[in-house]
A = this chain, B = another copy of it.
Amino acid sequence: MQIMSEKGAAGGGLRERKKRATRAALAEAAVRLAAEHGAEKVTVEAISAAAGVSVRTFFNYFDTRDDAFVVIDADAGARMRQAVLDAPAALSPLEALREAMVAELAEAEQQHELWRLHAQVLHASPHLLVRSLGAHMADETELAEAIAARIRAGGRPATASVPGAVPGPGSDEERRKALDLYPRLLAAVAGTAVRTSVEHWYARQEEGAFLDVFQEVFALLAAGLPAPPAPPA
């Protein structure tokens, strides 16, 4: 089994490291084979053989063959949430979210060749693209909860002192509801920024600049957001 650059949270035991390596090897083999022959023509047997494990073992790591094409990094979502929660308290929720995403995307860009193949595979079969979008969206929901937790915990009501921010003539009830919705809106904007910039990056085949594009898109979308409502309490 080919040793891979073990990324992510450096695990402790040898067992866990080997499991992560096997999982990564399977995912990478799946993507490379799919990019070459087309996802539909790649059997689980071929993926397993390329990763050096048995077919049965493949299904110990992935519930479905398609998962190997879609879920390249299983715990990226968890890392994102943790990064949002661990961000310095001085950052507004929006800034914390942006920094967390920039860090995650920067890490992913270190393997941009694999990610380009990944995008190519998804682009080639709409079926897989839908699965990927769904997984992305499920992560987004959990991310919204992490944002909400951060807002509840953190003392600062974000960028409350922005000059353009209207205090809002809403009642306390309205502000409470808006406060419930704000994390979702934030997560939706962030997700839209990611998808849009990935799409742009994939369309133009220029190498670098991806993070710059993301930052710009994020800023433009975020310009449409008001400061979060002040808590009614």
Interface residues of A (CB under 8 A from B): 63, 126-127, 129-138, 164, 166, 174, 177-178, 181-182, 184-185, 188-189, 191-192, 196, 216-217, 220-221, 223-226
Contacts A192-B188, A224-B225 given; indicate if A217 touches B181 (C-beta within 8 A): yes
Q: How far is the CB of A47 from chain B (nearest CB, A)?
A: 20
Contact A178 B223 (CB under 8 A): yes
Contact A184 B164 (CB under 8 A): no
Say what secondary structure dominates the interface of chain A: helix
Residue numbers in B under 8 Å from A137 (CB-CB): 130, 133-134, 136-137
Contacts A178-B223, A185-B221, A221-B185 given; indicate if A129 touches B138 (C-beta within 8 A): yes
9 residue pairs of the A-B complex, CB under 8 angstroms, read A129-B134, A130-B134, A130-B135, A131-B131, A164-B166, A178-B223, A185-B192, A185-B221, A224-B225
Copy number in the complex reads 2
Contact A220 B188 (CB under 8 A): no
Contact B226 A224 (CB under 8 A): yes
Contact A224 B185 (CB under 8 A): yes
Residue on B with the closest CB to A127? B63
Within the assembled complex, what's the spacing in Å between the Cα atoms of A184 and B133? Answer: 15
Residue numbers in B under 8 Å from A188 (CB-CB): 188-189, 191-192
